[in-house]
C-alpha cells in the first residue's frame, strides 16, 4: 500500500534526537537471545527519557531519546534509557551490549518480531530480514524548512565516510574477523533502496523523485528508503543512518555532537555542493571507510584528487570547534579526537579484547560491561 509523504514538520534548528539499536545477549554464553518482546512486555517505564521499542528481530531492541536542544540533553536521555533497560534486563536475565554486529551469532536462529510491519518486511526481503540483525545509531538533526532538509541531506552525504569511520564497531561477523572496521553496512547494502540520496535540488524535486519511485512500485513509503542520510518529514529532521551503535553511550553522544556542529557549520557557510559528481565516488568512499576506518583514502570529486580520511577529519574537527563551542558540545566533540589520532575506536577495542581473550564470548561479555557499567564499579573506564 503506497503512502503519501505528508507535510514537512518544521523543527527548531539543530535540535537532536538519537536512536540506538542494541543487542540482547544471553548471560550464559553471550550469544544473541530472543527476548525483545518479553523485555518490552515487562517494562514498567513512563517514557520520560524517550522510547524503548521492538526492532525487526527478537534479539534487538531500539531506544530513542526525546528531541533535545543540546548534546548534554541527549547524553542524559541515553543514560536514563540505559539505566531503565539495565533494571529490566537484569530481572529477565538478559545482558545488553552495543556494537554494529554480534561477533558470532548464527543468523538463521534469529526470529522476526511479531507485528504486521515486521512480517511484511520478512515476506518482502526473505532471509535478508534476518541478516538485518545488525545494530546502528541514527542521528536526527532538526531543520527549519523542507528545502533545507534536502540541501543538508546532500551536504551531509559527503561526510558519510567520517561518520562510518568514527563509529566503526563491527569487525567480526559469523565468528571471524572480517578485516572491515564496519562490516554492518554490508548487510544494509543488500537492500535495493540503500545507498545515497540522488542529486536533488529542493523539496519539490524530492517529492517528484519519490512519486516516481512509488509509480514504479519500488517504494511505498519513505521508510523504504534505506539511504545513508535521508529527510524525515514527520519529525522535521535529517537523519544520519550510517553509524554503528557504539560500545558506550558517551561515544553515541559524541557522534551526535559531530552531527550537530557539522550541520550548524554547513548551514551557516553553505559550501558549494558537488552532488552530481559525488554520486560517482560515494560508494567507493563508503567502502574505504567501512574497510579501512581511519586509514581510508577518499576520492574528492572536486579535485579530483585523493584525500586521507584521518587528516581531513582532524582538519574538520578543528574547523567545527567554534560552532561546537557555541552549541555547548565542544567537550563531546573533542572526545572524538583520540579515535582519529590514537586508534582508540571501538573496532580496535574489540580486536584488542579478542587478542587478550582469544574467544569472542568474552569479547561480548566485556562489551556488555562497557555499555552498562555498574554504578559502583567504574572498572569499565579502565578497559579502554
Positions in the binding site for other proteins (CB under 8 A): 27-30, 33-35, 38, 41-42, 90-93, 108-109, 111, 122-123, 126-127, 130, 357-359, 361-362, 365
| Closer by beta carbon to other proteins, 72 or else 362 | 362
Question: Least distance from C-beta 176 to other proteins, angstroms?
Answer: 14
Question: Least distance from C-beta 105 to other proteins, angstroms?
Answer: 12
| Closer by beta carbon to other proteins, 209 or else 352 | 352
Give the separation between CA 23 and CA 140, rounded to whole angstroms: 21
Block residue for cell numbers 526473505: 126
| Closer by beta carbon to other proteins, 175 or else 198 | 175
With beta carbons less than 8 A apart as the criterion, state whether 127 and 187 touch: no
Question: Least distance from C-beta 174 to other proteins, angstroms?
Answer: 15
Residue 196 corresponds to which cell in the numbers above?
545515497
* DSSP 8-state class, residue 274: -
Give the separation between CA 99 and CA 254, rounded to whole angstroms: 15
| Closer by beta carbon to other proteins, 133 or else 278 | 133
| Closer by beta carbon to other proteins, 76 or else 128 | 128
Question: Least distance from C-beta 192 to other proteins, angstroms?
Answer: 18
Question: Least distance from C-beta 44 to other proteins, angstroms?
Answer: 8
Question: Least distance from C-beta 334 to other proteins, angstroms?
Answer: 36
With beta carbons less than 8 A apart as the criterion, state whether 103 and 175 touch: yes
| Closer by beta carbon to other proteins, 214 or else 361 | 361
> Please, what's the b/e burial string for 135-151 (b: 16 or more CB within 10 A of its CB; e: otherwise)?
bbbbbbbbbeebbbbbb
| Closer by beta carbon to other proteins, 341 or else 356 | 356
Output the DSSP codes for 209-252: HHHHHHHTTS-SSGGG-EESEEEETTTTEEEEEEEEPPSSHHHH
Question: Least distance from C-beta 338 to other proteins, angstroms?
Answer: 29
| Secondary structure (H, E, C), 333-361 | HHCCHHHHHCCCCHHHHHHHHHHHHCCHH
Distance of CA 339 to the CA centre of its chain: 17
Amino acid at each position: 500500500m503506497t503512502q503519501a509523504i505528508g507535510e514537512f514538520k518544521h523543527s527548531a534548528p539543530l535540535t537532536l534526537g538519537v536512536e540506538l539499536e542494541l543487542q540482547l545477549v544471553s548471560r550464559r554464553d553471550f550469544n544473541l537471545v530472543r527476548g525483545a518482546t518479553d523485555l518490552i512486555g515487562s517494562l514498567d517505564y513512563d517514557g520520560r527519557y524517550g522510547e524503548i521499542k521492538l526492532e525487526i528481530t527478537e534479539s534487538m531492541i531500539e531506544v530513542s531519546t526525546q528531541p533535545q536542544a543540546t548534546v548534554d540533553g541527549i547524553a542524559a536521555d541515553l543514560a536514563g534509557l540505559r539505566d531503565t533497560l539495565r533494571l529490566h534486563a537484569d530481572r529477565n536475565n538478559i545482558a545488553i551490549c552495543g556494537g554494529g554486529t554480534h561477533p558470532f551469532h548464527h543468523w538463521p536462529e534469529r526470529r522476526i518480531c511479531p507485528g504486521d510491519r515486521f512480517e511484511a518486511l520478512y515476506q518482502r526481503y526473505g532471509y535478508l530480514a534476518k541478516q538485518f540483525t545488525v545494530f546502528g545509531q541514527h542521528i536526527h538533526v532538526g531543520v527549519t524548512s523542507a528545502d533545507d532538509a534536502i540541501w543538508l541531506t546532500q551536504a551531509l552525504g559527503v561526510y558519510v565516510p567520517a561518520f562510518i569511520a568514527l563509529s566503526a564497531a563491527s569487525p567480526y561477523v559469523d565468528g571471524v574477523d572480517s578485516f572491515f572496521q564496519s562490516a554492518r553496512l554490508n548487510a544494509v547494502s543488500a537492500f535495493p533502496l540503500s545507498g545515497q540520496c540522488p542529486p536533488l535540488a529542493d523539496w519539490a524535486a524530492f517529492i517528484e523523485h519519490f512519486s516516481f519511485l512509488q509509480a514504479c512500485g519500488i517504494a511505498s513509503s519513505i521508510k523504504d528508503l534505506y539511504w545513508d542520510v535521508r529527510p524525515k518529514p514527520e519529525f522535521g529532521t535529517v537523519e544520519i543512518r550510517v553509524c554503528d551503535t557504539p560500545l558506550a553511550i558517551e561515544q553515541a553522544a559524541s557522534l551526535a555532537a559531530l552531527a550537530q556542529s557539522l550541520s550548524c557549520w554547513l548551514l551557516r557557510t553553505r559550501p558549494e555542493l558537488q552532488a552530481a559528481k559525488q554520486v560517482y565516488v560515494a560508494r567507493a568512499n563508503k567502502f574505504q571507510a567501512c574497510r579501512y576506518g581511519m586509514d581510508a583514502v577518499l576520492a574528492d570529486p572536486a579535485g579530483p584528487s585523493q584525500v586521507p580520511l584521518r587528516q581531513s577529519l582532524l582538519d574538520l574537527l578543528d574547523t567545527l570547534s567554534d560552532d561546537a563551542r557555541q552549541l555547548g558540545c565542544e567537550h563531546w566533540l573533542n572526545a572524538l579526537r583520540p579515535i582519529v589520532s590514537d586508534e582508540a575506536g571501538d573496532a580496535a577495542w574489540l580486536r584488542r579484547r579478542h587478542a587478550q581473550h582469544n574467544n569472542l564470548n568474552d569479547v561480548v561479555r566485556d562489551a556488555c560491561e562497557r555499555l552498562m557499567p555498574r554504578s559502583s564499579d567504574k572498572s569499565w573506564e579502565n578497559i579502554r
